Amino acid sequence: MNQTPIKRIGLLTGGGDCSGLNAVIRAVVRTAILKYQYEVIGFIGGYYGLYHNNYIKMDLSTVSGIFHQGGTILKNSNKDNLFSYRVRDEDGNYVKKDVSNVAYENLQKLGIDALVIIGGDGTLTSARDFARKGVKVVGIPKTIDNDVPATDITFGYRTALDHIMHALDAIHTTAFSHDRVMILEVMGRNSGWLALEGGLAGSADVILLPEIPYDINKVVAKIVERYNRGSKFSILCVSEGCRPIDGDVTVKKIVEESPDSVRLGGAGEQVAMVLEKILKPITGQEVRSTNLGYIQRGGVTNCFDRVISTRYGTYAVDMIASGEFGKMVAVKHDKMVPVPIEEVVGSGEVGETSHGGSKVVDPNGDLVQAAKCIGVVFGD
């Protein structure tokens, strides 16, 4: 494919952090320099850094010693959509403005020939929109929720599962010692992969997912059944986005300046409150809830994620060399392949993610059915 020779590439990480980001950064930088002799510029703070021209020149020493570390040395921001950026007008009021031309000009001034963008739906939607402006973009999917369409798995997911499993192992001993019902709330707004696989690995008796609205009476029945046969404790693993069949998700707060303003949280506490009221007269059990929160995002990157992050990063640079722009690296049947970013986020208007939803758990799929075979209850 004929194209202008690539000499310098840019790199940024957007959205929430997750384990494996530094491993991807390391792979991009080392491949770019060692295999292709490209120069690498890293923008600090995602699209914020691209807008404010805040960057560092990256070399082999920049990425030395970061392979195992969670998070990102380039920092993240999940509030900076440059196609709808929050700025003050002449009267001092906040308004949304398209400032993407400033970012485009910064890329031109720095002589950046291609841009690697690592992120989830929102970040990749902007990547699509920059591609439409003529930027040579390659995307890498990032989310611990494993819910990005068009790829079988995302980096950081398996490390997050390890944290969930270890937390459930720890909670198990307390639940047993006090004959309590213990709830672990994990991340997962629209997709329940973390609760499902983490709950399975951590021996949860009940798993509540966004994809399967639950009947609290069926959850109670499972706990009482266990109690009556001598297992006087139970463990629940619940997604933050789970909801009762006659209710809605639990909203923690609204962050107005964020493109994704609704913050979920408290589903575990809500379930605990309702459960204890019902269980107290029957079994006398107390119910306790723990929200694992941001622990899922951090920590030392596990073996699987170190390897797949390396594969993601190296393949992204290979795509640049091959002229595969406007595309995202994906894993399909354990092979790295390029897929159009529009296949991931849709082909809607600027800023519009229109693929129709995240990659969600199939309530009738193998994993859910396997869990049911061993007695796990989903409340359906």
**pLDDT score at 2:** 47
Task: Answer for the pair 287, 236: CB distance below 8 angstroms, yes or no.
Answer: no
What is the tens place of the pLDDT at every residue in 54-81? 999 999 999 999 999 999 999 988 788 9
Nearest residue to 161 (alpha-carbon basis) of 267, 303, 25: 303
3-state secondary structure of 198: helix
What local confidence, expressed as pLDDT, does residue 261 receive?
57
Inter-residue contact 208 to 155 (CB < 8 Å) = no
CA distances 204 to 164, 197, 226, 237, Å, are: 11, 10, 12, 6
Choose the catalytic residue: 145, 147, 162, 205. Answer: 145
- pTM score > 0.85 for this model? yes
Q: How far apart are CA 262 and CA 213, in angstroms?
A: 20
Give me the pLDDT at residue 357, please: 61
Which stretches of the chain score pLDDT less than 50? 1-2
| 121 annotated active-site | no
| Whole-number pLDDT of residue 230 | 96
CA 209 and chain centroid, separation: 16
Give Dmax (Cα) for the chain: 75
Q: Give the pairing of strands 114-119 and 8-13.
A: parallel
pLDDT score, position 263:
60
* Sign of the CA dihedral with 327 first, then 319, 321, and 114 last: positive
Specify the pLDDT at position 349: 82
Q: Which amino acid is at 353?
A: T
DSSP label of 4: P
Q: Which domains, and CATH codes, for the chain?
A: 8-155+301-345 (3.40.50.450), 159-298+362-373 (3.40.50.460)
Contact 251, 200 (CB under 8 A): no
The label of the residue with tokens 């490209």 reads 38
Nearest in space to 184 (alpha carbons), one of 62, 103, 288, 59: 288
Residue 256 has what pLDDT? 60
Residue 374 has φ and ψ, to the nearest 5°, of -100, 15
> Using CA atoms, how far apart are residues 144 and 160, in angstroms rounded to an integer?
6
Q: Which three-class secondary structure state does DSSP give residue 121?
A: helix
Nearest C-alpha neighbor of 361 from the set 344, 348, 378, 375:
378
Cα separation, 207 vs 246, whole angstroms: 18
Beta strand 335-340 with 327-332: parallel, antiparallel or unpaired?
antiparallel
